[in-house]
């Protein structure tokens, strides 16, 4: 939290600061009001995914190197969005991100 967000001339908006995402960890954020997940699997590399569970649409939560769905226990890999444990039928959709200094932009 605490990041100032808003468009600055591109289609992408700031969703977090790189320094807010632990290396080897993940956080929740929002993009245009929708829940998303951000992970930094290795320093300087950020990936983003929709946080809407592909099973029945619950909001998936960050848990370090994985994302966990509180509803029926689906688990996803935080680096790839791939399903680690069902009942989710498919990976979390990836969202394009770019880094602008410490600013993580998505959209």
Binding site for ligand FES (CB under 6 A): 53, 55-58, 69, 71-74, 87-88
> Considering the complex, what minimum distance in angstroms separates the CB of residue 79 from ligand FES?
19
Q: Which is closer to ligand FES, CB of 48 or CB of 88?
A: 88
> Considering the complex, what minimum distance in angstroms separates the CB of residue 58 from ligand FES?
4
The tokens describing 100, both together, are 């602008």
Nearest to 95 by CA among 31, 26, 22: 31
> Considering the complex, what minimum distance in angstroms separates the CB of residue 52 from ligand FES?
9
If DSSP codes are grouped into helix, strand and coil, which group holds residue 2? coil
């Amino acid at each position: 939290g605490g990041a100032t967000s808003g468009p600055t001339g591109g289609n992408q908006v700031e969703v977090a600061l790189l320094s807010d995402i632990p290396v080897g960890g993940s956080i929740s954020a929002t993009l245009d009001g929708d829940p998303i997940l951000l992970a930094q699997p290795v320093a300087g590399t950020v990936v983003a995914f929709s946080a809407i569970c592909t099973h029945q649409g619950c909001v998936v939560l960050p848990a370090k190197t994985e994302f966990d769905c509180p509803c029926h226990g689906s688990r996803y890999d935080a680096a790839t969005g791939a399903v680690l444990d069902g009942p989710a039928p498919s990976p979390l959709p990836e969202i394009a991100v770019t880094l602008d200094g410490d600013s993580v932009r998505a959209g």
